[in-house]
């Protein structure tokens, strides 16, 4: 009699517990109640996600370290892969995705079991939940495949409607309806793990429970399992954007924490619909079918430590950099700039504020004062962009040339020993107040100089016009170089007078000045060279001077790729020698912007030039190590692979190596090749996120580190000026 009474009492307690549980889960507001429940029981519900995803993450990170092999850098305090991923990285990404989805097919149902037990008032051990979820993994895999197919169908249908009709509203509406109709696939997780149903039976069970709440149930799943976690991730990412390390740490934590909240929504919604649509017996059967076990104590400190472990490992690796990865500082200078011309404010001279175009970048200068100066010009008035610090977060953007200069001439520049810049400018004569030419025979353009410092540019004091051109002979390229003794060298490539003109020839003259303002210019024609057939040739002429003050001038043709080097035997250039290290050729595939040649030159202390250029035939960047001043004999090194390359820019580092920077457009990266004679080591330094362009310049900062300014261009109004500085270039 006592035994029967005890059993009755126990059965009554169980019935009361079931009654209370049914009453709790019957309440409306499933998403918010589930989130509150998950937050209160977070420590106990986190275990499956930690047990599954922590090993996956550690193994994936270890494999990634073995695969990257030089194509990784710490950019602004965060780990970043450089350039387009190769096949091995794509395979790694696919493998990580597949393994993560497989892990989710265990972690999510195991967490649903734990959440259901806590909602129903029954203790479920973590080990029991993991074993039960693992046994149901094949069925969960089928659910995953069906869900992927369903959402793919929704996406393809929407894109098909968009392509066929072009109606975006209709497209989004169709995709939303199809996606909502597939949402019960998420609810099917509960019948699989709680009732042991097959995939087909789980889908049928989920859709039967949805009946009577055909919109409420899919919307609950959409918001509670998909949208709210995604929005939370976006919000946190926005809040910590711009901070080093923190976004990755926050992302790891959110990815793990999201699983308990998603599982709580699925578990509570399933029980909610069972209470409404099912019977008391069904509810009892679900609860009694939960794996029994001793409840695991909540160990807050170990769980939190494991939760933060991936982020701590990542942060420690980035800060300590035990593998010696390249460290890079990078700033998108124009990221916050307005592209709206209406926002311009007129200056005192009547001109609007200067605008920057993606084709403007001409030269970059840096030095001991941490200030950078960039010359910007593309045939209109030249501009100066000055960065007040090495990160280029504080800038000044001003006009360099005055109002009314002659158009069609690209400004040249050189940096003096005192840090000032000399910039070429062309003043016009023979135009009216509106800049219109009334009498063409009276039109003149005179070459002068501007002296620029941190406050702006002024005409060179005491300077005289270096040359004058007329409308019939205005095609002219100019290059400037500082002389070792403080003077200035001006090189000009110009049309020959008719009486001196040979077929397809043009003259090269140099002007030497003892003072950078050129109050007493001395000009001499030193060579006649093949005519340049490429109109508006930018950077086709480069000037330099050795430590003995003997001029060296490089002339290259962007269309044919030919290079001529003219060297003087003395500072006054009484005798000049001409070398042609690269002969004229024709590219088989001239593709416009990326088919043109480019060149850069530096003069070594012994006066011999180093020349980097882009081959017009195969697109490879090559380096000429000249054995003579005029480069009539040279050793050649192929710096890059053939293909779509742009640039180059070149400087000599403190060890005498030639640092050659170029854009590897095929692999979407910028590379610096450090070359000692013709032996080069290559280091990718940043990713080209849009499309790159011809604009690329490089200089050494006060610490001897290369600084690269470049234009990342996708199209009109979609581009940025970027400054990239490798901090520990090997």
Contact 710, 313 (CB under 8 A): no
pLDDT in tens, 339-388: 665 555 556 566 778 888 888 899 999 876 778 899 998 767 889 999 88
Give the integer Cα–Cα distance in Å for 649 and 363: 10
pLDDT in tens, 505-516: 788 899 999 999
User: 621 pairs with which residues across the strands?
Assistant: 614
| Percent of the residues in the chain that have a pLDDT greater than 90, as a whole number | 36
Contact 646, 598 (CB under 8 A): yes
- In this prediction, residue 104 has a pLDDT band, given cuts at 50, 70 and 90, of very high
Residue 677, sorted as left (phi over 0), alpha (psi -120 to 50) or beta, turns out to be left
Question: What is the pLDDT at residue 534?
Answer: 47
Question: What is the pLDDT at residue 532?
Answer: 53
Contact 437, 408 (CB under 8 A): no
Instruction: Let me know if residue 498 belongs to a domain.
Output: no
Statement: residue 442 has pLDDT above 80: no
Instruction: Let me know if residue 111 belongs to a domain.
Output: yes
Tokens of 299: 């160990």
Contact 711, 691 (CB under 8 A): no
- CB within 8 Å of 216: residues ≥ 6 apart: none
pLDDT in tens, 602-659: 999 889 999 999 988 888 999 999 999 999 999 999 999 998 898 899 999 988 899 9
Instruction: Let me know if residue 56 belongs to a domain.
Output: yes
Give the integer Cα–Cα distance in Å for 153 and 598: 49
Q: Which residue has the higher pLDDT, 611 or 504?
A: 611
Instruction: Let me know if residue 592 belongs to a domain.
Output: no
Give the integer Cα–Cα distance in Å for 529 and 502: 10
pLDDT in tens, 151-184: 888 888 888 888 888 778 888 888 888 888 888 8
Give the integer Cα–Cα distance in Å for 524 and 452: 27
Instruction: Let me know if residue 394 belongs to a domain.
Output: no
Mean pLDDT, residues 400-413: 82
Mean pLDDT, residues 413-441: 75
The tally of domains found in the chain comes to: 1
Residue numbers of the domain that contains 168: 2-60+72-79+89-324
Instruction: Let me know if residue 495 belongs to a domain.
Output: no
Tokens of 617: 């035939």
Least confident segment among 9-18, 225-234, 475-484, 645-654: 9-18
Nearest to 532 by CA among 566, 561, 509: 561
Least confident segment among 79-83, 494-498, 539-543: 494-498
Nearest to 631 by CA among 577, 673, 677: 577
Residue 44 CB-half CA count within 13 A? 22
pTM: 0.82
Decide: helix, strand or coil at residue 407: coil
| Percent of the residues in the chain that have a pLDDT greater than 70, as a whole number | 88
Instruction: Let me know if residue 496 belongs to a domain.
Output: no
Q: Which residue has the higher pLDDT, 393 or 571?
A: 571
Tokens of 613: 């250029």
Question: What is the pLDDT at residue 477?
Answer: 86
Tokens of 524: 């001499």
Instruction: Let me know if residue 150 belongs to a domain.
Output: yes
Mean pLDDT (the chain, rounded) = 84
Nearest to 119 by CA among 30, 25, 52: 25
pLDDT in tens, 187-204: 999 999 998 899 899 999
Tokens of 649: 């820019």
Statement: residue 537 has pLDDT above 60: no
Question: What is the pLDDT at residue 6?
Answer: 46
Residue 51, classified by CB atoms within 10 Å of its CB into exposed (0-12), middle (13-18) or buried (19+), is middle
Write out the DSSP string of 123-145: ---HHHHHHHHHHTHHHHHHHHH
Angle formed by the axes of helices 300-320 and 246-277, to 10°? 150
């Amino acid at each position: 009699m006592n035994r029967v009474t005890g059993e009755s009492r126990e059965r009554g307690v169980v019935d009361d517990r079931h009654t209370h549980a049914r009453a709790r889960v019957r309440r409306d507001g499933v998403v918010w109640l589930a989130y509150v429940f998950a937050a209160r029981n977070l420590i106990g519900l986190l275990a499956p996600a930690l047990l599954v995803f922590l090993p996956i993450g550690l193994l994936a990170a270890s494999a990634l370290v073995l695969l990257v092999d030089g194509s990784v850098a710490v950019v602004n305090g965060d780990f970043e892969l450089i350039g387009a991923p190769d096949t091995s990285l794509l395979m790694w990404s696919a493998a990580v995705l597949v393994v993560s989805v497989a892990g989710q097919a265990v972690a999510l149902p195991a967490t649903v079991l734990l959440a259901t037990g806590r909602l129903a008032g029954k203790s479920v051990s973590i080990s029991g939940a993991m074993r039960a979820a693992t046994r149901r993994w094949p069925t969960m895999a089928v659910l995953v495949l069906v869900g992927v197919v369903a959402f793919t169908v929704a996406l393809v249908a929407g894109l098909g409607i968009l392509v066929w009709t072009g109606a975006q509203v209709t497209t989004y509406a169709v995709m939303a309806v199809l996606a909502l109709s597939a949402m019960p696939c998420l609810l099917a997780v509960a019948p699989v793990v709680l009732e042991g149903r097959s995939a087909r039976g789980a889908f049928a069970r989920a859709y039967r429970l949805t009946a009577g709440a055909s919109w409420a149930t899919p919307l609950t799943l959409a918001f509670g399992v998909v949208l709210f976690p995604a929005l939370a991730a976006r919000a946190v990412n926005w809040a910590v954007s711009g901070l080093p390390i923190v976004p990755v740490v926050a992302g790891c934590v959110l990815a793990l924490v999201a699983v308990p909240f998603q599982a709580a929504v699925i578990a509570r919604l399933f029980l909610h619909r069972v209470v409404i649509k099912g019977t008391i017996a069904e509810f009892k059967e679900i609860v009694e079918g939960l794996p029994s076990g001793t409840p695991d104590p909540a160990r807050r400190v170990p769980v939190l430590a494991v939760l933060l472990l991936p982020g701590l490992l990542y942060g420690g690796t980035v800060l300590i950099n035990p593998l010696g990865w390249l460290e890079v500082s990078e700033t998108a200078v124009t990221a916050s700039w307005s592209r709206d011309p209406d926002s311009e404010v007129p200056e005192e001279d009547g001109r609007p504020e200067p605008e920057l175009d993606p084709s403007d970048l001409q030269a970059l200068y840096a030095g001991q004062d941490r200030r950078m100066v960039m010359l910007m010009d593309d045939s209109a008035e030249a501009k100066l962009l000055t960065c007040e610090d090495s990160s280029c977060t504080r800038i000044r953007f001003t006009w360099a040339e005055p109002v009314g200069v002659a158009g069609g001439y690209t400004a040249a520049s050189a940096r003096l020993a005192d840090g000032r810049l000399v910039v070429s400018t062309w003043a016009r004569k023979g135009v009216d107040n509106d800049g219109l030419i009334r009498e063409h025979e009276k039109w003149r353009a005179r070459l002068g100089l501007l002296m620029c410092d941190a406050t702006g540019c002024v005409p060179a004091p005491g300077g005289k016009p270096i040359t004058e051109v007329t409308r019939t002979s205005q095609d002219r390229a100019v290059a400037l170089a500082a002389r070792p003794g403080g003077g200035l060298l001006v090189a000009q490539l110009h049309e020959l007078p008719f009486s001196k003109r040979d077929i397809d020839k043009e003259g090269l003259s140099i002007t030497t000045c003892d003072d950078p303002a050129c109050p007493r210019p001395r000009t001499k024609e030193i060579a006649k060279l093949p005519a340049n057939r490429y109109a508006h040739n930018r950077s086709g002429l480069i000037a330099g001077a050795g430590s003995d003050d003997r001029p060296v001038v490089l002339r290259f043709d962007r269309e044919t790729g030919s290079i001529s080097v003219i060297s003087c035997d003395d500072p006054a250039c009484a005798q000049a020698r001409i070398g042609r290290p690269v002969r004229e050729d024709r590219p088989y595939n001239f593709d416009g912007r990326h088919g043109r040649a480019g060149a850069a030159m530096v003069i070594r202390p012994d006066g011999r030039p180093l020349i980097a250029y882009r081959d017009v035939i195969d697109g490879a960047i090559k380096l000429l190590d000249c054995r003579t001043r005029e480069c009539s004999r040279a050793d050649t090194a192929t710096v890059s692979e053939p293909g779509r390359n742009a640039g180059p820019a070149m400087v000599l580092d403190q060890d005498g190596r030639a640092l050659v920077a170029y854009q590897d457009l095929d692999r979407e990266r910028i590379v610096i090749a450090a070359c000692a004679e013709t032996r080069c080591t290559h280091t990718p330094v940043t990713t080209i996120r849009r499309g790159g362009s011809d604009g690329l310049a490089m200089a050494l900062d006060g610490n001897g580190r290369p600084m690269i300014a470049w234009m990342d261009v996708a199209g009109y109004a979609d581009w940025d000026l970027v400054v990239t500085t490798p901090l520990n270039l090997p």
